[in-house]
Amino acid sequence: MVAREYNVAILGATGAVGTRLIAQLAESKVPVKHLKLLASPRSAGKKLLFKGEALTVEATTPESFNDVDLVLASGGGAVSHQFAPEAVKHGAVVVDNSSYWRMHDDVPLVVPEVNEAALNNHHGIIANPNCSTTQMVVALEPIRRAYGLRRVIVSTYQAASGAGQSALEELKTQTDAYNRGEEMVANILPVKGAAKHYPLAYNLLPQIDVFEADGYTHEEWKMIHETKKIMFGDKNSKAVKVTGTAVRVPVPIGHGETVYFETDDHAGATTEGIQKALSQAAGVVLEDDPKSQLYPQPIHAEGKRETFVGRVRPDLESDDAFHMWVVSDNLLKGAAWNTVQIAERLVALDLVRVPKNAINRFETL
């Protein structure tokens, strides 16, 4: 029997995540028969390398998905809203990086180390979680399995690249300007298209994404509800309390997170037990030795697929409570690698097919 090969399309191929999707796919276990690079008309004609071959970027149309088996999408919410249902109608399975479909009841939100089984129930669209959520649940899941999890309070230290290639370039331009004694110009951050922009260089911006009516940012909202959906199967699960604050920091690549968490009462969690669970967990690298000043740092995590965890220690004031520090490359595990990893699992589980009753499940405007 000849192993199945797949026609794959990357949607949003020219962005910070898109270019990494190409590279991660090239190094993955997905057997690619043909790769199609799709983007906006503005990027059409551009050439990008895949396994040494120069591929020409095409403008996305509904017909782009003819004969495509698998779409890896990273073109933003509006693009995924429009084109993911088109792709499904054409019989392609979509793994989507945007936030658009994540909370849809028929869309599994998947981090393979945590809830791979959710893939079995897909209807053509699988969502990739928010970057800051993904690395947190990778670190929390081994702890939950060992000792349960009642509560999480997270503070994020998020890199510029989480807001895309233009934000990454803005950080460098601003830094150069500041170092030359010139004024910093801000046009992108904190949120593209927002009324006000502020420099990120040498600064901290406690706003990621837009504000909700309750005073939380949408990024914070995502961390709360995506964590519940991924780890507890319900975006409004009461089984765990999740809360926190998301802050953008002047780092190009690599999100940091301080994570306070409480395990189940009397589950016997210890620092050593948590460290052991983390050291044995898939996708986690434990970097935790204060004596030798070993702890995760963004500059060491950049370019790596794993989630790095350190500074594990007990809360000195409360029982069954602990702290840790989590770092991962937000463009890889936080985006491109998790997407390709989902694709690998779909291939391994022979799930790269749209169920017949699902072809028209997702409406397109």
Nearer to a second copy, 87 or 205 (CB): 205
Of 114, 117, 164, 116, the closest CA to residue 136 belongs to 114
Q: Which stretch binds a second copy (CB under 8 A): 17-25, 33-41, 111-119, 297-305?
A: 297-305
Per-residue DSSP letter, 103: T
Nearer to a second copy, 52 or 215 (CB): 215
Task: Tell me: does residue 242 bind a second copy (CB under 8 A).
Answer: yes
Q: Is 42 annotated as a binding residue?
A: yes
Catalytic residue among 255, 266, 300, 323: 255
The rounded distance, in Å, linking the Cα atoms of 130 and 185 is: 28
Active site residue 255: yes
The rounded distance, in Å, linking the Cα atoms of 116 and 22 is: 22
Helix (H) or strand (E) holding 147: helix 131-147
Query: What's the closest the beta carbon of residue 312 comes to a second copy, in angstroms?
Result: 7
Window 209 to 238, contacts with a second copy (CB under 8 A): 211, 214-216, 224
Q: Is 28 annotated as a binding residue?
A: no
Number of residues that bind a second copy (CB under 8 A): 61
Q: Is 215 annotated as a binding residue?
A: no
Contact string 302-321 vs a second copy (x = CB under 8 A): --------xxxxxxxxx---
Strand ranges across the sheet with 241-248: 241-248, 151-158, 255-262, 321-328, 307-314, 284-286
Q: What angle do CA 318, 323, 324 make, to 5 degrees?
A: 170
Q: Which stretch binds a second copy (CB under 8 A): 37-45, 88-96, 203-211, 328-336?
A: 203-211
Among 4, 66, 106, 202, binds a second copy (CB under 8 A): 202
Identify residue 90 by its one-letter amino acid code: H
Q: Is 120 annotated as a binding residue?
A: no
Catalytic residue among 122, 123, 131, 225: 131
Q: Is 4 annotated as a binding residue?
A: no
H helix runs in 151-209, sequence order = 165-179
The rounded distance, in Å, linking the Cα atoms of 11 and 60 is: 8
Nearer to a second copy, 50 or 232 (CB): 232
Q: Is 102 annotated as a binding residue?
A: yes
Collapsing DSSP to helix, strand or coil, 362 comes out as: coil
Window 271 to 290, contacts with a second copy (CB under 8 A): 271, 290
Strand-pairing partners, residue 34, are 7
Strand residue runs (E) in the chain:
6-11, 32-39, 47-50, 53-56, 58-59, 70-73, 93-96, 125-127, 151-158, 241-248, 255-262, 284-286, 307-314, 321-328
Q: Which stretch binds a second copy (CB under 8 A): 7-15, 19-27, 196-204, 276-284?
A: 196-204
Window 113 to 152, contacts with a second copy (CB under 8 A): 151
- Give 192's contacts (C-beta < 8 A, 6+ positions apart): 163, 164, 166, 167
Query: What's the closest the beta carbon of residue 291 comes to a second copy, in angstroms?
Result: 7
Q: Is 330 annotated as a binding residue?
A: yes
Of 219, 234, 250, the closest CA to residue 154 belongs to 219
Q: Is 180 annotated as a binding residue?
A: no
Among 204, 239, 282, 349, binds a second copy (CB under 8 A): 204
On the 0-12 / 13-18 / 19+ scale of CB atoms within 10 A, 14 is: buried
Binding-site sequence positions for substrate: 158, 248
Residues in contact with a second copy by the rule CB under 8 A: 151, 153, 155, 157, 172, 175-176, 179, 190, 194-196, 198-199, 202-207, 211, 214-216, 224, 241-245, 247, 249-252, 254, 256, 258, 260, 271, 290-293, 295-299, 310-318, 323, 325, 327
Q: Would you name the residues annotated as active-site residues? A: 131, 255
